[in-house]
Structure 1
Amino acid sequence: YLQENSPAGTLAGTIKAIDPDGDTPQFKIVSGNGQGLFTIDPVTGRFTVAEGAVPDYETTQSHTLVVAATDVRNPSPDNNAQIRIHIVNQNEAPTLGDAIFDITDSVKAGDIIGPISGNDPEGDSLTFDITEGNDDGLFAIDANGILSIAKTSDLDALTTPRRKITIRARDTGEPRLAGNGSIRINISRQVFSNGSTLLHLVPADDSVDTNWMQPDFDAANWNTGKLGVGYDTNTDYDPILGTDLENAMSGKTTSAYIRIPFQVPNTSSVSDLRL
């Protein structure tokens, strides 16, 4: 019997032979070692884990080696012996990959950030907890690995645009082992959302002042509406369709132009703006 993950040189067993002529037998492995896991000392018959080899129970639970004994009078092996080596399972720590999530600081307590997945070599079920980076209790993770928002009072994208936490996955083996993963959470400020005020214009000739995208553009003659914007009267969209441009655009070869005003409290703290 041999523990899995035994290092190179670990003794797996010893084979002996008796030569009726008193010659010293020489040993060699003739089959069953296709993975190159074992090596045998030709004089002592000690077979050990080969250099660079790692016995793995999850891959192969036992190995059957055919070992031949020869001597100077009989160089061709006639007497072979089968050696069976059973690999003893050893609990191995689960692995947990690093991950990155993006959220906005408008999330609410209970909102799900995402699932955390781990892998256990023995297939044990895993439980999860946060071990570092969550002293303020901003985040929570349940036993199934679902990461969520625990509270929002300390969530501010302008002062803390990112957080890094360490999550531990523990198995149910004996002894219980654990693996850690580093989770980065990017926090952004949502400056507008569904229902925010917008300005829209559908010019009759599809022309508009080229400065219409500038912050100081005079849009006094534009129409006011709400996000979201659509070109459909399908009632299934009613909960999210704040501005319907069907009447304004019907029968015209033109475009719709949309301006969404928003403010950034501290522009020096903003490194990225995405729409």
Structure 2
Amino acid sequence: MPPRSNVAVLTQTRKVGLAKKKAKREQIKEILFDDDARREFLTGFHKRKLEKTTAAKNKAIEKEKQERLETRREQRRALAERAAANAAEVEKAYGGAAGTSAVVLSPYALVNDHAPLDDSNDELSNLPSSSRRQQKKAQGQSAPAEEEFEDEEQLATVTVVEDFDPDTIIHGPAREDHGVEPHASPLSKGKSKALSIANAEQTKARAKANMAVKAKKSKPKKVRYETKADRAVEKRKQRARRTEKAERAGGKASRKGKGGAAAPRGAAVGRKR
């Protein structure tokens, strides 16, 4: 290794000094520990686990809700398509004789296909809405009612057309007989009023009777407690009864024993004779 010059040595010494000054300048003066944060971290494992479980559960619930909403949308879409197909089949079966509009529902739009049946419909289309409605009523056609259905994502207006009967189209509308209601006489009104008053009084009386029965049933029964002297007298009586019973049972047993022992003796005496 060749000897270094004085300039190289001084330069190296200066670089080392500058590096030491920089390290000292960038040195962290003090390190402070947050005891509360440390304690919360060390004691919060169960809490964090519960929070994670709750978050996962809420996420699963939200996912299930979205799937349910999507299923309902699919069902509504299928129902709308089926309703449109049924309406088309009905219109095709009756050959457009009903004079009603086929309602076709889709998830995002509402389509009304008006089938011109004869010249009367063309004439009605040129009239104003009020005149057209009156003309349809005169011809036995009911005006369609419009209803709005609002969902989370869409707003649809549905035109509801009343049901029709093919017989009315062929034979004409049936005549309705409006009967005249007989007017009630003052005498019958008085009787009905008296009956209503009597029924009200009977109901009140029945309610009062039920309340009285409930009040009687709800009264607590009085419990009578014996005194110490009464209990002692009752115990003496029971003891005397038990003693008397035992004596009677003992007398019967002794009499049975005596009778059983005497019988063989008499039999032996009889044999000797």
With the length of structure 1 as denominator, give the TM-score of the two structures: 0.19
With the length of structure 2 as denominator, give the TM-score of the two structures: 0.19
Higher RCO (CA 8 Å, separation ≥ 6 residues)? 1
- Identify the structure with the greater helix proportion: 2
